[in-house]
Structure 1
Amino acid sequence: MKNQIHFFIALFFTVLLCSCGKSFKYAAKDNGFYSGMAVTVGDIFNPETIKILQNDCSIIVYENSMKWANLRPNKNFWNWNDIDSLVEFAEKNNMRVKWHTLFWHQQNSPFVSSSWTREQAIQMMNEHIETIMSRYKGKIAEYDVVNEMFNEDGSMRQNIWYKTIGADYIELALKKAHQVDPDAKLLLNEFNNEEKGHPKADAMYNLVKNLKERGIPIDGVGMQLHLDARISYSEDAIRQNIQRYEDLGIAVSFSEVDVRIPIENSKAYESAQENIYLMLYKIASEMPNVTSFITWGISDKHSWVPYTFPGTGNALLYDEDFKPKPVYNEILKELKK
């Protein structure tokens, strides 16, 4: 009997020690979602950032290298080297790869033309999907098929694909993508679509519901979550939004997360930033259809935030010296509970 007691005591402390030593990505997996980061080409060759990625990420995505202007700067040249390197890195480190993005209204190549006929645009769209997805079939786990298709009022954005093809360009892209790689997860990605009741969030839900009901292949929705610590967000509205996707059988990716704070007097907003991050990780842990949580960058050193939202920054979990911030440690502590 005494030996049994000693055995169970030893087992308890072994489990406790393993739990305490668990890395960020495994703690996230235990909570039911993949943890990831957007990276640049240099990040997968820098020993300092490699270590962070290996510890924190089970899914990675390029911040810009998969977009038209970088991938296919002209009609006849495809820059595969960067993406091949990312796929190789991910395979070596047992990570999933997400593609961002097949179609977007920004960072297009010069030859992408609003003067195309509908037939020409569909042909180019299909060629783009076929070329990419056949090359990486079985290697890219999920795709942001269309990025940012709505205006703030919930109307459809008049991007080049909408203008040349029409409103059905989204379903045509989804159908073609599924045809080329039936196993890849297909997502629509957007910002300001996290809270139920926001015009853009409701428009996205109505679109996805319509697609789903008509049998169009759609697996998930990306909520970018580029948030501002000075703004109050409704946890209840976010949960309600995610729940209605769960009811449709649709996954949700927290796809580009950062929480910016003012550079001046930044200390005053660090607590608010921490609360927002903790809220999001809590939601991701508790809602079963949240499948990934990806921060948009590794550290503040190369974050897009200061350039896009002047006067703000410090939006990520690592500082400019690639050191984890207190908010990182608080999140990890919560994930290990």
Structure 2
Amino acid sequence: MRTYKITSLLVITSLALFSRSYGQKTASLKDSYKNDFLIGTALNATQIEEKDPTAKVLIPKQFNAATPENIMKAEVIHPGWDKYNFDLADKLVAYGKKYNIRINGHTLIWHSQLPAFMHGMQDADSVKQYFTNHIKTVAARYNGKVFSWDVVNEALNEDGTLRKSIFADKLGPDFVTEAFRLAQAASPDAQLYYNDYNNEQPAKRAGCIALIKKIQAAGVRIDGVGIQGHWRASNIPLKDIEESIVEYSKLGIKVMFTELDLGVLPNPWDGDAADVNMKATYTAKMNPYANGLPDSMQVKLTKGYEDLFKLFLKYKGTVSRVTFWGVNDGQSWLNGWPIKGRTNYPLLFDRNYQPKPAFDAVIALKK
């Protein structure tokens, strides 16, 4: 069996505390980092509607920012050409107001999870009409109610070129700039962000910087860039992340880590990815921790989060928000992507909402 060197007393102490119950004495992430940056989480419908009693207590205590997992994506909020479904999005806004949690709208324009009527649409004028009406209608409804918008999500390929999508194909390469222009007009009180994965990697980062400069050169407002942060605990690209914080900040914009999780399972491909359309076949070898995470991996996860938050704190004047993509391990999309039926452990709270050693490591940095 391979052994791992435990690098600090902090990790040993955290492992000893792993079995404690969540309660009033548990520290608060948002309070610990209140002078540094917002601490956010992704919320699902059950959590937004406060149907989970444990989450109802934990979320307002731990987080001061929230992003909806799916309920503001186009297939949910705009299911028919002239039909919008604002029910859950309105509940999310009310939830944020109730608990003083800043809401990040996610997302206005994305090539994935589009409504069914968009599938196979060939007419460029129809795509343009959808594009314009969708942004105007949704962004305007929540002007002054959401703190920020992920205006465009995942528009780039890994080499930094523009991704082939229905929007790029029918509207041309300036569709990203136009999306920000429309969002700025419809929701002038919201912060406007571009969001992507792997845009801390040099080639994609260069493409992202070029995209942001193009928006700025057109006289259109863009307030920040989101680096999703879907990394593996054993392979966090800390050097690339730091270089990206520095390079993006030179553009005069904020930097956020918008969908943070640290997977611990084997990757079926070389390198990291976060394309929801990528799939792989289940094998037992690809699901090694179905019965629990061994201490060796718990240590890696803890060290990974510790290293990341040290870096975030180093640039706390530039990093404005860190959002985890889910509240607890059971909620994580990584249990079903890219292979369905796996058991992953990528977040700070376990499947019973208990704080993990990684939680203690993140809190300890502020003590």
Residue among 86, 93, 106 paired with 2:99: 93
Q: Specify the code of the residue in structure 1 equivalent to 2:210.
A: N
User: Equivalent residue for 1:159?
Assistant: 165
C-alpha distance in structure 2 between counterparts of 1:256 and 1:84, whole Å? 22
User: Equivalent residue for 2:297?
Assistant: 269
User: Equivalent residue for 1:286?
Assistant: 314
Check 1:119–1:64 CA distance in 2 against 1; reply closer, same or farther (3 A cut): same
Task: Report the secondary structure of 2:118's partner residue.
Answer: coil
C-alpha distance in structure 1 between counterparts of 2:54 and 2:96, whole Å? 16
Alpha-carbon offset, residue 114 of structure 1:
4.9
Q: Which runs of 4+ in 1 moved over 4 A?
A: none
User: Equivalent residue for 1:330?
Assistant: 361
C-alpha distance in structure 2 between counterparts of 1:54 and 1:329, whole Å? 18
C-alpha distance in structure 1 between counterparts of 2:34 and 2:132, whole Å? 35
CA contact (8 A) 1:114 1:163 kept: no
CA contact (8 A) 1:33 1:291 kept: yes
Is 1:241 equivalent to 2:274 in the alignment?
A: no
Q: Which deviates further from its counterpart, 271-280 or 89-98?
A: 271-280
User: Equivalent residue for 2:47?
Assistant: 43
Is 1:301 equivalent to 2:307 in the alignment?
A: no
CA contact (8 A) 1:102 1:144 kept: yes
1:1-80 equivalence runs, <5 A: 23-30=28-35, 32-44=36-48, 45=50, 46-80=52-86
User: Equivalent residue for 1:5?
Assistant: none
C-alpha distance in structure 1 between counterparts of 2:121 and 2:357, whole Å? 51
Higher share in helix: 1
Deviations along 1:98-123, whole A, 9 cap, x unmatched?
11111111111011155444333222
Alpha-carbon RMSD: 1.8
Check 1:264–1:296 CA distance in 2 against 1; reply closer, same or farther (3 A cut): same
C-alpha distance in structure 2 between counterparts of 1:52 and 1:213, whole Å? 43
C-alpha distance in structure 2 between counterparts of 1:149 and 1:312, whole Å? 30
What TM-score results when the alignment is normalised by the length of structure 2? 0.81
User: Equivalent residue for 1:227?
Assistant: 231
CA contact (8 A) 1:115 1:164 kept: no
Deviations along 1:244-281, whole A, 9 cap, x unmatched?
11111111110000001125264232222222212222
User: Equivalent residue for 1:4?
Assistant: none
User: Equivalent residue for 2:136?
Assistant: 130
More RCO (CA 8 Å, sep 6+): 2
Task: Report the secondary structure of 2:336's partner residue.
Answer: helix
Check 1:228–1:176 CA distance in 2 against 1; reply closer, same or farther (3 A cut): same
Alpha-carbon offset, residue 301 of structure 1:
1.3
C-alpha distance in structure 1 between counterparts of 2:120 and 2:338, whole Å? 29
Mark the runs of 5 or more structure 2 residues left unpaired by the alignment.
Answer: 1-24, 266-286
Q: Specify the code of the residue in structure 1 equivalent to 2:79.
A: P
Q: Which deviates further from its counterpart, 282-291 or 175-184?
A: 282-291
Mark the runs of 5 or more structure 1 residues left unpaired by the alignment.
Answer: 1-19
Q: Which deviates further from its counterpart, 214-223 or 141-150?
A: 214-223
CA contact (8 A) 2:233 2:262 kept: yes
Alpha-carbon offset, residue 21 of structure 1:
8.0
